[in-house]
Each structure stands twice: as C-alpha cells, then as structure tokens.
Amino acid sequence: MSDEINVTLSNLLQEDRQFPPTPAFAAQANGKASLFDQAEHDRLGFWAEQARNLDWETDFTEVLDWSNAPFAKWFVGGKLNIAYNCVDRHVHAGHGDQVAIRFEGEPGDRRDITYRELMAEVSQAANALTELGVVAGDRVAIYLPMIPEATIAMLACARIGAIHSVVFAGFSAEALRSRIEDANAKLVITADGQNRRGSAMDLKSAVDEAVDASPSVENVLVVKRTGTDVTWHDRDVWWHDLVGRQSIDHTPEAFDAETPLFILYTSGTTGKPKGILHTSGGYLTQASYTHKMVFDLKPETDVYWCTADVGWVTGHSYIVYGPLANRVTQVIYEGTPDTPNKDRWWDIIERHGVTLLYTAPTAIRTFMKWGDHLPQSHDLSSLRLLGSVGEPINPEAWMWYREVIGGNRCPIVDTWWQTETGAMMIAPLPGVAACKPGSAMRALPGIGMAVVDQEGTPLGNGSGGFLVLTQPWPSMLRGIWGDNQRYVDTYWSRWPQYYFAGDGAKLDNDGALWLLGRVDDVMNVSGHRISTTEVESALVSHPEVAEAAVVGASDPTTGQGIVAFVILRGSTEDAGELIKELRNHVAREIGPIAKPRQVMIVQELPKTRSGKILRRLLQDVAEHRDVGDSTTLADPAVMKLISEGLASSSSDD
Ligand code: PRX
C-alpha cells in the first residue's frame, strides 16, 4: 500500500485559486459558519437537532449507542416511517400540489408527479407488495431504469419495512443473480425494457435468466415502459395490473430507527461484492441534512437535478431519500446525454429551469471534449449551484464547470462520500467556503475526519496520507449483509479506532482536503467502483484464459480505464478477435461498465517470489511510463518480455 500512496501523492497539483461565495449567496445560504461551532461544542446535540427535522412517531431516548463499536445505533428508541417522511408529511403540511418529480423520458415523453400523486402511488405500490406477501424485513431486488417507478418502488418498500436492494440496470444477469442470492430476495421489480440511445433495450430477459436460477424469488413485478415483447412466466405480474387496482390509502407503520432500509452492493478488494447495509433514522437524518446544507435547497423555488442513476448510492441518497425528505422539486431523466443530440442536458436545464445540478467529473470532462458551443447555445442562467461527486475533479474540469456551465456565478460543491458513508462527509458549505478548484475542502459540521500516516498518526497541514473518519456518523453503514466479520476486517482493523475509507488524501497548507484516489485494488471508472479482482475473475472464467491481472490506468475522460493483462492457455491464431471476445465476455459477466478499455496478451505476469502480482509495474506499462523498481520480482526479465510483446497484442478499440 505504501508504494501506491506515494505514486498518487506525486500526482498532486499545486492550486492556489480560491472562489468565495458572493455576499448575496452567503447571506441567503441555509448553512452558516455557526454550524461548525455548534457541532464542535455539542456533536451529539447537533445531530439530535438535525434528526428532529424529521417526523418521529416516537421520539428517541439516546442519540448514539457506540457501546458495541463498530456497530452503531443512532437515535435509540425512536420510531419513524421513512416513506411518510419523504412524502405524506409534505401533503399533510399543505404541499400536495407541489410537483415532486418532473420526469422526462429519453424519447421526450413527460410526466409531472405532485406530492399528492406520489403519496397515492407509493401507497398503491405498498398495498401491492403486501398482496404479494412481502412483509417487513423481506428483501426486494429492484432492477429498473431511471423512471418514476424506481423511486416509487423504493419508497413502497420503505413504507412497509421491506429492505430494497437496487441493482443497476446496466449490470448483467449474472451480477443480478448473485445479488438476489446473497440477499435471498423474495421479489424482483423490473421493467420490460429501457430507452437508451434512441432505442428500446430489453431488460426483462436478463431478469428471467437471473430468476430462473434464484429459488428465493416468488414473483417478478414488471413495469411496462417500452412495450418490448417479453417472455411471460407464472411468477410474473404486470405493475399496471397489480398496482393500478390497489387502494390509494395505506397507513404507514412506524419502525424502529435501526430498521434496515436497504442493501446496496459495491465492489471491494475481493471478487465478491459487498452488500452494504443501511438503516433508517440516522440515514435519513444525514441524507436530508447534507442535501439541505450542501445544495442550499429552497423547496419553494429550486428545481434540482441529480444526474445519477438510482442503481448507485448517489441515486439513493440524493434522488430519493434526502431530496424528497426536504420536499424537493426535481428532474428525473431516463436516457443518455447524447440523445437525440449532444446538448440534451443543457436543453433539459433550460426547459425545466434547473437551479441546482449534481453530476460527476466524468460527465463534465466528456462535455468539455464535445465543445463549449453546446452549452453555450442554451440559456443556463437558472443555475445557481453546481455539485460534483464520485471521483476527484481535476482543477481544469472544475474551472470549465464554473465558467462554461455556471457562468462564473455558481458555487461548486465537490462532495466526497461513499456507498458506505451513506451521505456526504466532506464538502464545502457553499455560503461559507472559499472553494479551491479540485478540493472537497473540509469535513461537514458533525463529521470527524483526519489524514493519517501508516501508523495511524494524524498528520498536519501540508502532508499526505490515508483518509480516515474519526467519529461514528448517523448514516454510516451498519455492516455488510451476512458478513459482519468482513465489515470489521475491511474498515476497522487497520487502525481500530478509525474507519478506513480506502482513499489517499492530502491536507494543503490551509487545511483544505485533496482526494487522491483509492489506495487499494479498487478502480474508479467514470465514478463507478470496480474491483480489479472482480474483472480478473471474469477473465479467467473464459476457457482460453489461464491467468489475468487487471489495473486501473489513468484516463483523461473516465478517470481510470480498465487495462487487462492476460496469459492464454494455448496460442491463438487471431489475437484481435480473441481480445474482442474477452472484452465482451467481461461485459456479459459483470456489465458493460466493466468492459476493459484494453486487453494485452502476455507470456508472463510480474510476480514477487511469494506469487503476488505487482500491479504497480503493470500500471506503469498501461500508463506508458518507464517501469519502476522491479527488484522484488521473482524473474526480473519479465517486464522486458511484457513490454516487448505488447506492440503486437494490444487493442483499445
Ligand atoms: O475514492 C472515492 C471516490 O469514490 C469512492 C466511493 O465510491 P462509491 O461508494 O461508488 O460512491 C460514489 C458516490 C458517493 C470513494 O472512496 N469518490 C467519491 N466522491 C469523491 C471521490 N473521490 C474524490 N472526490 C470526490 N468528491
């Protein structure tokens, strides 16, 4: 690990520009500097106050029980219903006519859903789940495109105390199957198809394949989205038939604050994805608090748009739970940014008058490549704040975002957090911070963070090391589904008093935080976490592959690109064809997001005497650098062999 941190640290740029908010923005901001003082003075009292912005059926008696660390209990004894907090209470407060969701399908169809309509449909869906025999504690897998039913399905589960496990609809049948199996899901909610790049893509057949091999699944609830022909099974039920005929009345039951809300699978350093478990009261407290403070949400006037997919944690916390708890009006868009044209996003912002935009650096860099004329041909003056998440944002992309999209007037909030943290941890308060291009700035009020060295000693300003979280936080994961030991080992064993995030970071001379990427074998491709081992396992499952090593090589658009080195079992006549086949094989096994950018056929892999693959050296090759120190190799000639053999075998079409 030490080698890797040195490599990433050396990539750090010196950046001195600062952009404070305008006095007008600062004056109206939700989050003032006093929040820091308040949280510092009484951290738990501060969190109790944030929690009380929610509607509790039974008040909590204790803010935090950390006696069984690292297994936290927040808001002990409190009872609430998550869906009630996200929907019903706004209707009861007289906001039933406010639009909650402005849906825009890729083909251009539109659907506005008010809070009153959302309450009716979530209630119907909750009644439907009950009719299917789903009860509190059951697991429901959701495999849906970005359509309102995804949000409705999640809220319906929450309403009856069922645990949802959303699986990104771009994942393969096998990825879906393994997640269904791990959680023992009883129901799968899906759609006939999804609109991507101008055509209807089949979704249901992947579910059929996964469910055929999943004995725990009793029913599949199918939303009709594209009208694509589907194969029908006895277990299948149409959403419009079942949900459509339910009563719009449903009395939400209050559940304990620690009731599991969802499982979300994410890649770790082994081949098996981890089912990150989140619970109710603490999660909703921090998701809504951060959404309100970091995006400065004004429910009466803002139009918010988070471009993430509900298949990732950003969609959970900043499309569904945080925003709806705060009574947001938000845009949900189904499709890709280049359909029908490459200005689709700017068109959406102009037509809907979007004020708050939350997206990922990969998207920003792609738009930079496509050219300034596209955003410049639209009126983006409604925007008043911009957010970034998922990977480090380079200063160049930050400045472009500020100038070309934000017209030099919008604060940019670079938000660091993880599936495991559930909500934002490090981000500027937009009315307070003088932001530096590319820095996530400092921990939010109520959050404890440090940068430590190998021994776990906190470092001062001007130093780089490992990012840790020093205090439990309300939306922290409560464990890994079915594997609590893995939870302890992964996050709490390196330095038992700290949560180890897996990221390298540096504090600059002013104490601003700069994220430097992962320090473990996890890649970040377009803001998505993919483990090197997962891709390696997929490759070696191909009959022609004997051995594989995978690295994330830096990529100007996607942050990192996946580069695979493979040793074949035999020889091949047509390397080009086989490479194509291997790339497609990985896409089939995991999903298109894991398709290697490049596959290189090699004779040997660089290994230490104990057999550990030295990925660092392969990364040098993949990034076209001189190969670093290879003295620990069992066979020092290997790197020469690899470099020589590459010209003939690489492919990156
Ligand atoms: O490496 C960090 C990077 O994404 C990882 C978390 O990935 P995931 O659980 O998929 O959640 C992504 C969305 C919250 C982190 O360990 N990361 C996330 N946000 C940032 C970031 N790296 C730098 N800057 C960020 N703002």
The per-residue pLDDT for range 141-161, each reduced to its tens digit, is 999 999 999 999 999 999 999
pLDDT in tens, 300-344: 999 999 999 999 999 999 999 999 999 999 999 999 999 999 999
Amino acid at position 68, single letter: N
User: In which order are the strands placed within the sheet that holds 187-191?
Assistant: 236-238, 219-223, 187-191, 139-143, 163-166, 260-266, 274-279, 479-480
pLDDT in tens, 437-450: 999 999 999 999 99
Token pair listed for 287 = 């998701």
Give span(s): CATH 3.40.50.12780, the chain.
3-223+232-243+253-505
CA of 391 from ligand 1 middle (Å) equals 5
Q: Name the residue with tokens 């005929």.
A: 245
Amino acid at position 282, single letter: G
573 pLDDT band, cuts 50/70/90, is confident
Does residue 16 register a pLDDT over 90? no
- Closest atom of ligand 1 to CA, residue 393: 24
Token pair listed for 514 = 């700069």
pLDDT in tens, 595-623: 999 999 998 888 888 778 888 889 888 88
- Phi and psi angles of residue 260, each rounded to the nearest 5 degrees, phi first: -55, 135
Can you list the positions of beta strands (E) in 95-186? Answer: 99-104, 110-114, 139-143, 163-166
Q: Atom 7 (ligand 1): residue with closest C-alpha?
A: 418
Cβ–Cβ under 8 Å, residues 323 and 330:
yes
CA of 526 from ligand 1 middle (Å) equals 11
Cβ–Cβ under 8 Å, residues 155 and 320:
yes
How confident is the model over 512-535, as a mean pLDDT? 91
Cβ–Cβ under 8 Å, residues 562 and 583:
no
CA distance 220 to 243: 13
Q: Best substitution site from 413, 524, 526, 560 to test ligand 1's pocket, by max atoms within 8 Å of Cβ?
A: 524
Please give the distance of CA 536 from its chain centroid, rounded to a whole number. 22
The H or E element that residue 76 is part of is strand 73-76
Mean per-residue pLDDT over the chain, rounded: 94
Candidates 369, 346, 505; CA nearest to 441 is 505
CA distance 77 to 82: 15
Q: Atom 26 (ligand 1): residue with closest C-alpha?
A: 416
433: CB partners within 8 A, 6+ apart: 20, 21, 411, 441, 442
pLDDT in tens, 240-289: 999 999 999 999 999 999 999 999 999 887 778 899 999 999 999 999 99
Candidates 221, 228, 219, 226; CA nearest to 189 is 221
Cβ–Cβ under 8 Å, residues 206 and 172:
yes
150: CB partners within 8 A, 6+ apart: 142, 144, 166, 310
pLDDT in tens, 95-121: 999 999 999 999 999 999 999 999 999
Can you list the positions of beta strands (E) in 493-597? Answer: 499-507, 513-518, 522-525, 528-531, 545-555, 559-568
Does residue 6 register a pLDDT over 70? no
CA of 362 from ligand 1 middle (Å) equals 12
Q: Best substitution site from 278, 499, 515 to test ligand 1's pocket, by max atoms within 8 Å of Cβ?
A: 515
CA of 417 from ligand 1 middle (Å) equals 5
CA distance 31 to 48: 17
* Residues 181-213: b if buried by 16+ CB within 10 A, e if exposed: ebbebbbbbbbbbbbbeeebebbbebbbebbee
Give the pLDDT of residue 646. Answer: 61
Cβ–Cβ under 8 Å, residues 454 and 475:
no
Tell me the three state secondary structure of residue 272.
Answer: coil
CA distance 329 to 314: 17
How many Cβ atoms sit within 10 Å of the Cβ of residue 235?
Answer: 14
**CATH T-level fold of 526-651:** GMP Synthetase; Chain A, domain 3 (3.30.300)
Token pair listed for 351 = 């037509």
CA distance 9 to 505: 8
Q: Integer distance in angstroms from the first to the last C-alpha of the chain?
A: 32
What CATH number was assigned to the domain covering residues 3-223+232-243+253-505? 3.40.50.12780
CA of 1 from ligand 1 middle (Å) equals 19
Does residue 9 register a pLDDT over 70? no
How confident is the model over 361-365, as a mean pLDDT? 95
Q: Atom 25 (ligand 1): residue with closest C-alpha?
A: 416
- Closest atom of ligand 1 to CA, residue 501: 16
**Which residues line the pocket of ligand 1, CB cutoff 6 A?**
266, 313-314, 389-392, 414-419, 440, 501-503, 515, 518, 524, 529
CA of 120 from ligand 1 middle (Å) equals 35
pLDDT in tens, 503-516: 999 999 999 999 99
Give span(s): CATH 3.30.300.30, the chain.
526-651
Give the pLDDT of residue 343. Answer: 98
Q: Best substitution site from 294, 318, 529 to test ligand 1's pocket, by max atoms within 8 Å of Cβ?
A: 529
CA of 392 from ligand 1 middle (Å) equals 8
Q: Best substitution site from 306, 389, 468 to test ligand 1's pocket, by max atoms within 8 Å of Cβ?
A: 389
Among 285-294, 567-576, 617-626, 633-642, name the one with the lowest average pLDDT: 633-642
Candidates 387, 641, 375; CA nearest to 527 is 387
How many Cβ atoms sit within 10 Å of the Cβ of residue 261?
Answer: 26
CA of 514 from ligand 1 middle (Å) equals 12
CA of 416 from ligand 1 middle (Å) equals 6
CA of 31 from ligand 1 middle (Å) equals 23
Does residue 132 register a pLDDT over 80? yes
Token pair listed for 225 = 């989205």
648 pLDDT band, cuts 50/70/90, is very low
Token pair listed for 93 = 């407060």
Tell me the three state secondary structure of residue 417.
Answer: coil
The three-state DSSP-derived secondary structure of 108-130 is CCEEEEEHHHHHHHHHHHHHHHH
Does residue 410 register a pLDDT over 70? yes
Candidates 547, 556, 570; CA nearest to 618 is 547
Token pair listed for 452 = 């430590």
- The pairing of beta strand 545-555 with beta strand 559-568: antiparallel
Cross-strand bridge partners of residue 550? 564
How many Cβ atoms sit within 10 Å of the Cβ of residue 56?
Answer: 18
CA distances from 405 to 301, 347, 367, 610, 625 (A): 20, 12, 10, 51, 34
Residue 127's region, left for phi above 0, alpha for psi from -120 to 50, else beta, is: alpha
Does residue 649 register a pLDDT over 60? no
CA distance 151 to 190: 12
Q: Atom 12 (ligand 1): residue with closest C-alpha?
A: 390
- Closest atom of ligand 1 to CA, residue 528: 10
628 pLDDT band, cuts 50/70/90, is confident
